[in-house]
Structure formats: C-alpha cells, structure tokens
Amino acid sequence: MLKPTFIEKIRGTVGPENVLMDEESRVCYSFDATSYTSLPDAVVRPKTTDEVSRIVTTSFEESVPVTPRGAGTGLSGGSVPAKGGLVVSMERMTAPALIFKEDLYAVVEPGVTTESLQKQVESRGLFYPPDPASRSACTIGGNVAECAGGLRGLKYGTTKNYVLGLELVTPEGKVIRSGARTVKSVAGYDVTRLMVGSEGTLGIITSVTLRLLPLPAARRVFWCRFDGIAAASEAVADLIGSGLVPSGLEIMDDKTVKAVEAYLGDEIGAGVLLLGEVDGSKAVCDEDTSKALEILERKYGREVETDVEGIDPEALWKARRSVLPALTRLSPTVILEDVTVPRSKLPEMVERIGKISGRYGTRIAIFGHAGDGNLHPSFLTDKKNRDEMKRVGVAIAEMMRACIDLGGTISGEHGIGVDKMPYVKLELGEAGCEIMKRVKRSLDPKGIMNPGKMFDET
C-alpha cells in the first residue's frame, strides 16, 4: 500500500493523468508474455529522464519497489512487478530517433519499438540488425535490458553488439551516462556492458546510443524441408561448418509448421522447415545460396527452394514470426524455453529433448534460432492440469541440466526474470551468483529496483 503523500509527490512529477491506480489499469501492467502475474500498486508513465529520476528518487527515499516496463513482451516474467510498488512504463518516451549517418549511430528513447527504429534508419540507408520476432511491439529499452537476440544473431550478433552508450537512472535516482558515441572508448569500467541484459534490476535506461551499419544491398531467402528435426539440426552444423554465414538460420519442427499453417491459413509445406537468409551484394547472395543448395542436396538429398521466383522474403519471415501466437492456439498454456548450446551440439540437444519428452509424456514443439544454437522448446500444456504441470516441471529441470552438460546456457536471449531463477545457480555456481548479488547490492542498496528477479534474495 502506497502512502498518500508518496502518491501526491509522484502525481506532482508526471501529472495526475500519468499515474494509474484503478484496478483495470493495474491488471494491464501485471503480466508479460509468460503466465506470471502480480499487481502493481500504481503505474507511472514518465515522459522525460528528469521525471524518471524524480520518480526513482522519491521511491528510493520511501523504499518503494520500482519495476521498469517496456511493452511487456518479455518471456521470463521480467516486467511483472513481483513485489508490487510502482511500474514505470516507458510508453511515452518514444521521440523519433536522432540519426547520425556519417558516424553510423542513433540516439533512441527507450519506448521506441524495434521495428519503428529499423524503419527510421532504413529510410536513411542504414541498418539496425537485432531483430527479435516480437519487433513490432517490443521496445529498445526492453531489448537492451534483456540483451534481445532474434532472427539475425548468427551473422550480426545480439543487442549487446550495438549498444555504444546509455543514459540511465540509478536505483538512487541519479542520472548517469555510460559509454560514448565513438567507435572506441575505454574510459573506466564498462558500465554499458553491465547494464545490457541487467533486466531492469540495476537502473532504468532512459536513452540508448546504438551502432548502425550500412543497409545491405540485397537479401535472399532459402528454405529446405526435412523428414525429421535431427537431420535438419545436423544440416545447420554442416552449413555453418562450410564457412557459410547466413544472416539467419531458423528451424521449425513439424508441430510448429502445422500450427503456423493453421494460424495464417497458408500452406508452408510438410515436414521440418529450415529457413535461411543471406544478405550482402546480389553476387554474394547468389553465391551463398548456391553453396547452401549444394550442401543440402549433396548430403541430404534435399531440394533447396529460394525466393528467386519473386517470393517476398518477408512473407516467409512472417511465418516464422507467427510461431508463438500460433502455438498458443494449440493448448491453454505454452511454456517457451530458451536453451542454447554450441552449434555443433544442436543434434545432441534435439535428441535429448526428444527423450525427455517421451520420458515424461509431455508435448513439446521445437523451433528457434538454430544458427545460434538457440532452441525454443515449447511445452504445450495446461496450467490447470496439476499432474501434467508437475511432469513438465521435472522435464524442464532435466532439459536445463542437459543443456549445461553440453556446454550451453539456460537462456540465450529471454533472460532469467522470475522464470529461470530456479536454474541460475546450475549455470553460474554459488560463487558466480554471489558476485552478481554483490554488484546488485552495491548499486541498489535498498533493493528497490525490480526486486524478486534473477536471484532469490529471500
């Protein structure tokens, strides 16, 4: 319960119309794309860094929990206000990006969606590669806080490879700037890198300086169907082992393909789908596509189809981006995991997931950024079915152990949030977790910034 004097101060900072306390509004900010929920006491919608700073300063003085929020598309419960208090929504911080073409960077407010930024820079002949499948809704602030990946990780890396600098409000309400607008900067500790992927637990990002690239002249899509996911995942290792670096290489198993077909009402074709994209000059695209074709035909006897006949590459990527909404129509609860292994271990990981599914009688659809070794095995279940949920829980724990066994990570791009908290020690160990908790305590001495996430401090 927030004190009336506290609320008055917050209203005085952002205006009463930007402090939402009615139940309907609080419910709208109580969840993300997982099934976790927790009601905030109030939702605040600042417009400027100064307002964010004053909100956080007041919250620090009164020890009120603060949870930063972008669009709420997160897949680990990160923006769910686990301990109540304030949700600070960045939805009004959406000014057009400042684009510096000669210096190849842009300065962006955190509430701008990824797709909007991409369109803004592309209209100037520039390119912002990170491309989460949720790009039409998710925000740059949320992308930085989660270190979002997406469909182009294989060639272009993830959000962390593009953040040159940040402006942020610390848990005590101070405004600091990290990094620089230059290609190089080694002045002091790399606070920027620490903040990327910190899931809103170390401060609120109020401005992001992002590195840009020249827009590639051409793109070409290719796709190939397989009878089973094992062969498709072997093909991924073969393609990459050959020296080919597609900008994207995505896998969708047969359950996923059928779900997307039903969702879009379009035929994609039977079997497991491997969908790739190459980019660069037209000559490079042609050469790379021929190379992929040769490998896939020679070793697997599979015909590779490409977009030469004038198929819009976006139509195929739309199918890939529709996977999650499509799967949610198959069962009341979809638990989407994010295991990532070294690419050469992909076939073994897929095999282990198959065995785990059989052992616990769970339905799992597999899709993901295969070129990054990043799979999203999605448990199709019903949270009301207690017996099944128990089996799903055991199966997930086993899958996490399998992934660590293979030298992988429990989360490639969705973060820890609430969802992966039980497994974080498995990867980081006791001492590794303790170091991170010390960092957290030193920056957030009262523990007000997105509490109840990443590490269990209770």
Ligand X SMILES: Cc1cc2nc3c(=O)[nH]c(=O)nc-3n(C[C@H](O)[C@H](O)[C@H](O)COP(=O)(O)OP(=O)(O)OC[C@H]3O[C@@H](n4cnc5c(N)ncnc54)[C@H](O)[C@@H]3O)c2cc1C
Q: Which CB, 160 or 258, lies closer to ligand X?
A: 160
Q: Which CB, 150 or 179, lies closer to ligand X?
A: 150
259 binds ligand X, rule: CB under 6 A: no
User: Shortest gap between Cβ of 134 and ligand X (angstroms)?
Assistant: 3
Q: Which residues contact 19 (CB under 8 A, 6 or more apart)?
A: 7, 10, 11, 42, 43, 44, 45
3-class DSSP state of 387: helix
The answer for 420, left when phi > 0, alpha when psi is -120 to 50, beta otherwise, is alpha
From the list 331, 323, 330, the residue with the least C-alpha distance to 370 is 323
Q: Which CB, 115 or 351, lies closer to ligand X?
A: 115
Please tell me what DSSP assigns to residue 200.
Answer: T
Residues listed for the chain: 458
Out of 51, 109, 146, 250, which residue is the one contacting ligand X (CB under 6 A)?
Answer: 146
3-class DSSP state of 293: helix
Token readout for 229 is 């996911």
User: Shortest gap between Cβ of 303 and ligand X (angstroms)?
Assistant: 28
DSSP bridge pairs for 335: 379
- Between CA 241 and CA 249, with CA 246 as vertex, the angle to 5 degrees is 90
User: Shortest gap between Cβ of 289 and ligand X (angstroms)?
Assistant: 23
Please give the residues from 24 up to 53 whose contact with ligand X meets the rule CB under 6 A: 32-33
74 binds ligand X, rule: CB under 6 A: yes
Q: Which CB, 129 or 150, lies closer to ligand X?
A: 150
Please give the residues from 311 up to 370 whose contact with ligand X meets the rule CB under 6 A: 324
Please give the residues from 376 up to 435 whose contact with ligand X meets the rule CB under 6 A: 413-414
CA–CA gap between residue 405 and residue 411 (Å, rounded): 14
242 — phi, psi (to 5°)? -80, -5
351 neighbors 402 (Cβ within 8 angstroms): no
Please give the residues from 160 up to 199 whose contact with ligand X meets the rule CB under 6 A: 199
79 binds ligand X, rule: CB under 6 A: yes
Please give the residues from 261 up to 320 whose contact with ligand X meets the rule CB under 6 A: none
134 binds ligand X, rule: CB under 6 A: yes
70 binds ligand X, rule: CB under 6 A: yes
69 binds ligand X, rule: CB under 6 A: yes
Secondary structure (H, E, C), 392-447: HHHHHHHHHHHHHHCCCECCCCCCCCCCCHHHHHHHHHHHHHHHHHHHHHHHCCCC
Q: Which CB, 13 or 306, lies closer to ligand X?
A: 13
371 binds ligand X, rule: CB under 6 A: no
453 neighbors 411 (Cβ within 8 angstroms): no
Contact segment (CB under 6 A) with ligand X among 41-49, 145-153, 246-254, 307-315 equals 145-153
User: Shortest gap between Cβ of 263 and ligand X (angstroms)?
Assistant: 12
3-class DSSP state of 50: helix
Q: Which CB, 166 or 240, lies closer to ligand X?
A: 166
Q: Which CB, 71 or 272, lies closer to ligand X?
A: 71
3-class DSSP state of 85: coil
User: Shortest gap between Cβ of 127 and ligand X (angstroms)?
Assistant: 17
205 binds ligand X, rule: CB under 6 A: yes
Out of 58, 59, 67, 120, which residue is the one contacting ligand X (CB under 6 A)?
Answer: 67
204 binds ligand X, rule: CB under 6 A: yes
Give the residues lining the site for ligand X (CB under 6 A): 32-33, 67-75, 78-79, 90, 110, 132-134, 138-139, 141-143, 145-146, 148-150, 199-200, 204-205, 324, 413-414, 450
